Amino acid sequence: MDTATHIVMGISLGGLATIDPVVHNDATLFYAVLTGTIIGSHAPDFDTIFKLKNNATYIRHHRGASHSLPAIVLWGLIVSGLIYMFVPEVSYLHLWFWTALAVIIHVFVDLFNAYGTQAFRPFSNKWIALGFINTFDPYLFLIHLGGIGAWMLGAHPGYTWLSIYTVIVLYYIKRYMDKREIVREIKDYIPNTIEIATSPTLKQNFWRVAITTEDKFYVATVENGHIEIVDEFNKIPLPESPIIEKAFEDRNVASFLNFSPVYRWEINEFDQYTEVRFIDLRYRSKEYYPFVAIVQIDRNMEIISSYTGWIFSEHKLRKKLVIEDNFV
C-alpha cells in the first residue's frame, strides 16, 4: 500500500488496541502503543532509503528483505524496544504485541497489490503479488479517514475500528471474487492461457491485465466484465549472444529481471552502440509501458549507460540515461 494508507492504518490499530483492557486503562501505554502502531505500520518501507543510492538498488531491495519473515520479527522488537526506552513503566508485552501486529498487517496487505513482496524470505525469494487491491485504494483510505473522524467526534475507538475492520475484510473478499471472475473470463476467452497478472486501478470495475500463453503475450483491459486486447506480442526467447550476456551483467537489468515476471525485449542498433530494452507488460498507461530497463553497449562491448525505473515518455527516458551514466 502507499505511505498515506499505511499511516492511517497505524492510527486505526492504535484505536483498535483500546479493546485491550490494559491499554484502555493506561493512558501512557495507550499513547506508547499508538506511537508504536503508527511507526510499525510504516517501518518495513524504511527501505525507501535505498533510493538515495540508485534505482537499481531500490528496485532490487524494496519490499524484499525488509518485508521478510525475519524482518517482521525484528521490526516489531526494534520499534517497541525504542519506545519502551522512553516509557519503561508501561507493559512491554502489550506495547510489543500491538506494534508487531502493525508490522505484520503492513506486510500482509502489501501482498494483495500488483507490486507484491518477498514476504516468504528466507524460504523463498519469489515475489508474491496477488493483484486485486490497488496500491492506493481510495475506498480503503476513505473508510479509515471516516473511522478517524468518528473517533475524534467521540465514538468508542475499539468498537469503531472493530466494525471497520469487519467491513474491510468483506471488501477484500469482494475484490478477490472480482479477480477470480476476471481470471475465469480470460481463460474462457483465451483457452491456452498460462499465467495472468492482474493490476486493479482506481476504478472498481476497470482492471489492467497481462496474459501469458505458450507463444504470445497479451496486454488487455477488463471493464465491467468486457475484455479488450490492447496489445499483442509474440513470445520470442532471448537470443544467445555476447550482447545479451553483457546486458545481463548490468545492475539495472539484473534488478529489473529480478522483479518483473512478464516482459518483452528489444534490441536496437545505433551507429555507436547497441541498445537492449526490457519492458514490463503489467503497467500499461496511456499507450505507454512506463516500467523499463535499458542498457547501452558500445562497439567495444562496454556498458556506456543504463537505467531501470518508471518513465512516462521517451524524452524523459533519454535524459535519464544520460544522468544515470554520469553517476555510474
Has residue 288 got a pLDDT over 70? yes
Span between the terminal Cα atoms of the chain, in Å: 31
Same domain? For 249 and 154 the reply is: no
Asked whether residue 145 falls in the same domain as residue 270, the answer is no
Does one domain contain both 155 and 263?
no
State the average pLDDT over residues 230-236: 94
What is the rounded average pLDDT of the residues 263-290? 91
112 & 16 share domain: yes
Q: What is the C-alpha to C-alpha distance for residues 305 and 323, in angstroms, rounded to an integer?
A: 9
Asked if residues 245 and 254 have their Cβ atoms less than 8 Å apart, the reply is no
Q: Are residues 18 and 157 in the same domain?
A: yes
Contact between 209 and 220 under an 8 Å Cβ cutoff? The reply is yes
- Residue reference for cell 535524459: 319
Q: With a cut of 80, say whether residue 271 has pLDDT above it.
A: yes
Query: Is 246's pLDDT higher than 90?
Result: yes
Give how many domains the chain has, as a whole number: 2
Final residue belonging to a domain, choices 128, 147, 174:
174
- Check whether residue 11 and residue 139 sit in a common domain: yes
Q: How sure is the predictor about 53, in pLDDT bands with cuts at 50, 70 and 90? A: confident
Using the 3D structure, point to which of 174, 193, 222 is the last residue of a domain. Answer: 174
At 322 the pLDDT is 63
Judgement on whether residues 31 and 163 belong to the same structural domain of the protein:
yes
The verdict on residue 123 lying in a domain is yes
Q: What is the mean pLDDT of the chain?
A: 91
| Domain membership of residue 281 as a residue range | 242-327
159 and 252 fall within a common domain: no
Per-residue pLDDT averaged across 126-152, rounded? 94
Q: What is the pLDDT of residue 299?
A: 92
Smallest CA-to-CA distance from 114 within 46, 196, 186 is with 196
Q: Which has the closest alpha carbon to 294: 281, 280, 286? A: 280
Q: Of 147-151, 251-255, 257-261, 316-320, which gets the smallest average pLDDT? A: 316-320
Same domain, 128 and 29: yes
Q: Report yes or no on 181 lying in a domain.
A: no
pLDDT in tens, 54-89: 777 777 777 888 999 999 999 999 999 999 999 999
- Assess if residue 270 is contained within a domain: yes
Residue 201 lies in a domain: no
Asked if residue 136 and residue 38 are part of one domain, the reply reads yes
Domain finish residue from 174, 204, 232: 174
In a domain, 92, yes or no: yes
The average pLDDT across 243-252 equals 93
Q: Flag whether 248 is in a domain.
A: yes
Structure confidence by residue, pLDDT tens digits, 158-192? 999 999 999 999 999 999 999 999 999 999 999 99
Q: Mean per-residue pLDDT for 87-99?
A: 97
For residues 67 and 162, membership in a common domain is answered with: yes
Q: What's the order of all strands across the beta sheet hosting 226-234?
A: 193-200, 206-213, 216-223, 226-234
CA separation for the pair 59, 68 (Å, rounded):
15
Q: Over 90: is that where the pLDDT of 323 sits?
A: no
Nearest by Cα to 314 from 295, 288, 296, 293: 288
Amino acid 300: pLDDT? 94
- Kindly write down the DSSP assignment for every residue of 146-182, as one continuous string: HHHHHHHTT--HHHHHHHHHHHHHHHHHHHHHHHHHH
> What are the phi and psi torsion angles at 60 (to 5°)?
-70, -35
Residue 132, in any domain of the structure: yes
Q: How many CB atoms lie within 10 A of CB 157?
A: 24
Q: Is residue 204 part of a domain?
A: no
Asked if 170 and 277 sit in the same domain, the reply is no
